[in-house]
Amino acid sequence: MLKLISRFKFKEWLGVILCAVLIVGSVYFDLKIPEFTQEITRLVKVGGHSVNEIWAVGVKMLLYGLASLSVAVITGLVSALIAANFSKRIRNDLFNKVQSFSMEEINKFSTASLITRSTNDVTQIAMVIAMGLHVLIKAPVMAVWAISKISVKSYQWTVAAAIALLFMILSIVIIMIIAAPRFKKMQRLIDDVNRDLRENLTGLKVVRAYNAENFQQQKFEKSNKNLTQNFLGAARAAVLMNPLINAVQNGLTLAIYWLGASIINSAADAATRLGLFGDMVTFSNYSMQVIMSFMMLTFIFMFMPRANAAAVRINEVLNTKTKICDGALTQGATLDDVEITGEVEFKNVSFKYPDAQECVLEDISFVVKRGETVAFIGSTGSGKSTLINLVPRFYDVTEGEVKIDGVNVKDYTEEALRNKLGYVPQQAILYGGTVTDNIAFGENGREVPTEKEILMAAQIAKCADFIQQMPDGFNSRIAQNGANLSGGQKQRIAIARAIARKPEIYIFDDSFSALDFKTDKELRRALKKYTEGATLLIVAQRVGTIMDADKIIVLEQGKMVGIGTHKHLYKTCEVYRQIVNSQLSMEDNYER
């Protein structure tokens, strides 16, 4: 928690100082009220004083109470402002940090956990700051100040207050030992609930298609039950706090008045008895102030374990060092004073996922020249998508080099590297907004695409027709993740997004799978004409999609087993021939 608080800015520390000053003022006003009570008691008991004198003291008492209330309200507003601004900045820091993560770091934490850390965990911190900043300063100041005032009174009362205080502290420690571990565990259990809920919502179609509602219900109930039982275990311990404090308060009041009766009765004269009675009333008020101070601290301490666990989880994200770091270069190499563009080279590349025992890719080497179309094919799990993901540095190679325009991808700034690429993933991702927003998505180091360029990209991707038939055309709204579009429509808009970017290198990761053969053929023909001079890297399952590529690279169990044109590979590569024969009839194949 302290490490997270150390991220306070100057203005926030200034706010903390202001809160401390205001709280000291509030304590002063609170501790003056028992003195007025004593004065009123004296005026009432001693004859010769008018009602106006009593009213004067009462008005002062009221003004001090209003002053205490006003200062408390201002303190609450300041502490809430500090908490809100701090939590806002922490959420921004978390978001920006996660944006810099490679897929390795994201998989390490899990998406569900990162969501919880950015929302619920930050809320726990904000709540403790808003409530605790006021209490953590006020409670010790109040306790010390009040004790200093009552310690000069009768030692019997002081001993009674000390015994009550020690009993309360001991009880609180025992309760905290029971409850604290459960509060710490709660954030991890919220992760589990968040994960199960997110999986269910994301895969709702599959759940319904397989009649797996009961299975998902049981799965969610298990994580929800664990969270509930853990919370109830902590709450059962915490619920003892109120009756315990009430018992201590009432018991101490009873002890003070019982001892007071004995002390007053033993006094020598009426004047002394009157003074002792006033002292007893004042002592009772001050002792209640001390008990209340510790009560406020207790409630904060109940929240602290959970907030501390949340702070640890937040710091884990903020202090994580990303494996993929920016290089320094913003452009490729030059050859005879001419910048190399659109060239991709894999040089003895091997790769294995974090914590994996075996490599997914082994000793991959090839060169793609500018303007070439190179396709990757192979059986499921052969490493096609993994290979493609090394180009934009979603992962870094384990061995070897990946070069873009003659420069190792590790030497580029991430922004410069990705500005060279137009990437279309396996699963088309669309965002809530208009069609135009989705096609013009992102920043590519150049001007934002014009309406004409967006229309052209849509026409090439064969999605302009269905877009123009939508109610508002290119200004029509797209639901989150394209929920109001079909799979083929989403893929074509995702392809249009890459085209509008006008990159040096296009990467299509099985991006034509949802298209019918006719649309696939028309799209590739238009794409080839428009992207003349650009480099195309295509991962595909369909042989028909890649037969016209300049090079086809065949992968099998992470190894490159063939490279060449369709005809060359059909004659020389057994793996490729099996793939072709499984998809196309011999007659269709030879006709091609």
User: Which of 187-191, 336-340, 354-358 has the weakest average pLDDT?
Assistant: 336-340
pLDDT (tens digit, 9 = 90+) per residue, 365-399? 999 999 899 999 988 888 999 999 999 999 999 99
Q: Which two tokens stand for residue 44?
A: 């009432």
pLDDT bin (cut points 50, 70, 90) of residue 587 is very low
Picking from 223, 189, 193, 196, the residue whose alpha carbon sits closest to that of residue 313 is 189
| Backbone torsions φ then ψ of 477, nearest 5 degrees | -80, 140
Strands 334-335 vs 338-339: parallel, antiparallel or unpaired = antiparallel
Other beta carbons less than 10 A from residue 86's beta carbon: 22
Radius of gyration of the chain (CA): 36
Q: Domain limits of the chain?
A: 2-318
How far apart are the C-alpha atoms of 520 and 530, rounded to whole Å?
A: 15
How far apart are the C-alpha atoms of 183 and 82, rounded to whole Å?
A: 24
How far apart are the C-alpha atoms of 463 and 514, rounded to whole Å?
A: 13
Q: Which two tokens stand for residue 185?
A: 């565990």
Task: Name residue 556's beta-bridge partners.
Answer: 559
Picking from 157, 132, 142, the residue whose alpha carbon sits closest to that of residue 30 is 142
Q: How far is the CA of 587 from the CAs of 41, 576, 584, in angstroms? A: 112, 17, 8
| Best mean pLDDT range from 31-40, 45-54, 271-280, 506-515 | 506-515
Contact 380, 557 (CB under 8 A): no
Which of the pair, 234 or 579, is modelled with greater confidence? Answer: 579
Q: Which two tokens stand for residue 447?
A: 């001007």
Picking from 584, 592, 497, 495, the residue whose alpha carbon sits closest to that of residue 538 is 495
Burial code of 190-225, b = ≥16 C-beta within 10 A, e = fewer? bbbbbbbeebbeeeeeebeeeeeeeebeebbeebbe
Distance of CA 201 to the CA centre of its chain: 19
Picking from 278, 266, 267, 279, the residue whose alpha carbon sits closest to that of residue 44 is 278
HEC profile of 206-249: HHHHCCCHHHHHHHHHHHHHHHHHHHHHHHHHHCCHHHHHHHHH
Q: For residues 471, 473, 476 and 482, what is the CA-based torsion angle, rounded to 10 degrees?
A: 100
Give residue 429's pLDDT. Answer: 87
Picking from 283, 40, 258, 262, the residue whose alpha carbon sits closest to that of residue 152 is 283
Q: Which two tokens stand for residue 255?
A: 């002890």
pTM of the model: 0.77
**Amino acid (1-letter code) at residue 543:** V
Which string of DSSP letters, residue by residue, matches 547-588? Answer: TT-SEEEEEETTEEEEEE-HHHHHHH-HHHHHHHHHHS-HHH
Give residue 556's pLDDT. Answer: 92
How far apart are the C-alpha atoms of 39 and 37, rounded to whole Å?
A: 5
pLDDT bin (cut points 50, 70, 90) of residue 586 is very low
Q: How far apart are the first and last CA of the chain?
A: 68
Give residue 52's pLDDT. Answer: 84
Residues 6+ apart with CB under 8 A from 90: 4, 7, 122, 125, 314
pLDDT (tens digit, 9 = 90+) per residue, 446-462? 778 888 999 999 999 99
Strands 399-404 vs 407-408: parallel, antiparallel or unpaired = antiparallel
How far apart are the C-alpha atoms of 7 and 89, rounded to whole Å?
A: 10
Please compute the mean of the pLDDT values over residues 124-133 and round it to a whole number.
Answer: 84
Q: Which two tokens stand for residue 486?
A: 């079909």
Other beta carbons less than 10 A from residue 393's beta carbon: 21
Which of the pair, 592 or 290, is modelled with greater confidence? Answer: 290
How far apart are the C-alpha atoms of 288 and 220, rounded to whole Å?
A: 46
**534 pLDDT above the threshold of 70:** yes
Picking from 120, 232, 240, the residue whose alpha carbon sits closest to that of residue 182 is 232
Q: Which two tokens stand for residue 126?
A: 């904000």
Give residue 355's pLDDT. Answer: 79
**244 pLDDT above the threshold of 50:** yes
User: Which of 149-153, 464-468, 503-507 has the weakest average pLDDT?
Assistant: 149-153
Give residue 283's pLDDT. Answer: 78
What CATH number was assigned to the domain covering residues 2-318? Answer: 1.20.1560.10
Sign of the CA dihedral running 502, 508, 513, 518: positive
Please compute the mean of the pLDDT values over residues 560-568 and round it to a whole number.
Answer: 92
Picking from 15, 30, 9, the residue whose alpha carbon sits closest to that of residue 80 is 15
Other beta carbons less than 10 A from residue 563's beta carbon: 17
**Amino acid (1-letter code) at residue 261:** A
Give residue 221's pLDDT. Answer: 92
Q: For residues 347, 352, 353 and 358, what is the CA-based torsion angle, rounded to 10 degrees?
A: 170
Give residue 344's pLDDT. Answer: 93
Picking from 557, 551, 556, the residue whose alpha carbon sits closest to that of residue 569 is 551
pLDDT (tens digit, 9 = 90+) per residue, 39-84? 777 777 666 677 888 888 889 889 988 998 998 899 889 999 999 9
How buried is 355 (Cβ within 10 angstroms: 0-12 exposed, 13-18 middle, 19+ buried)? exposed
Count of residues making up the chain? 592
Q: Which two tokens stand for residue 145?
A: 């100040």
Please compute the mean of the pLDDT values over residues 124-145 and round it to a whole number.
Answer: 81
**465 pLDDT above the threshold of 80:** yes
Give residue 543's pLDDT. Answer: 86
Q: What average pLDDT does the chain have?
A: 85
